[in-house]
Amino acid sequence: QLQLVESGGGLVQPGGSLRLSCAASGFTLDNYVIGWFRQAPGKEREGVSCVTSRDGSAYYVDSVEGRFTISRDNAKKTVYLQMNSLKPEDTAVYYCAAYQSALPYCVKSTGRYDDWGQGTQVTVSS
């Protein structure tokens, strides 16, 4: 079973930046799609971004397009989420998750993912 650990969350002012990391252990990342999700209090968990296993193609939810960048370093078994121009509405617990696929696309629906991290809190506030 793939084990995932998120880090990099914290408190940041509006307009600031954070970089989240998702470190994997147990298996090589090469065959896994990695997604980032977030869940704010009282809201459903939503898919923020995902990156394909083979060519690193990235997909984003509209609300973060142009502000967030997902990237992966398979050699380090780590996936990153660079978050810029943060807004108060980005406040949530952020999770990374994985599923095995070699397809040239990825999905952001929670039900497709098999392995999940424990989450890291991101708070955007002045």
What pLDDT, in 10s, does the model give residues 61-107? 999 999 999 999 999 999 999 999 999 999 999 999 999 999 999 99
Percent of the chain residues past pLDDT 90, beyond the cut: 90
Which amino acid is residue 53, in one-letter code?
S
Question: How do 120-124 and 32-39 pair as beta strands?
Answer: unpaired
Across the range 47-53, mean pLDDT stands at 96
Residue 28 has pLDDT above 90, yes or no: no
Q: What is the pLDDT of residue 87?
A: 98
Q: Is 31 exposed, middle or buried (0-12, 13-18, 19+ CB in 10 A)?
A: middle
When comparing pLDDT for 29 and 100, which is higher? 100
CA 123/CA 50 separation, integer angstroms: 21
When comparing pLDDT for 10 and 102, which is higher? 10
- Is the Cβ–Cβ distance between 68 and 81 less than 8 Å? yes
Across the range 6-28, mean pLDDT stands at 96
Please tell me the chain's helix, strand, coil percentages from 3-state DSSP, rounded to the nearest 5. 5, 50, 45
- E strand or H helix at 89, and its extent? none
Q: What is the pLDDT of residue 71?
A: 96
Q: How confident is the model at residue 8 (pLDDT cuts 50, 70, 90)?
A: very high
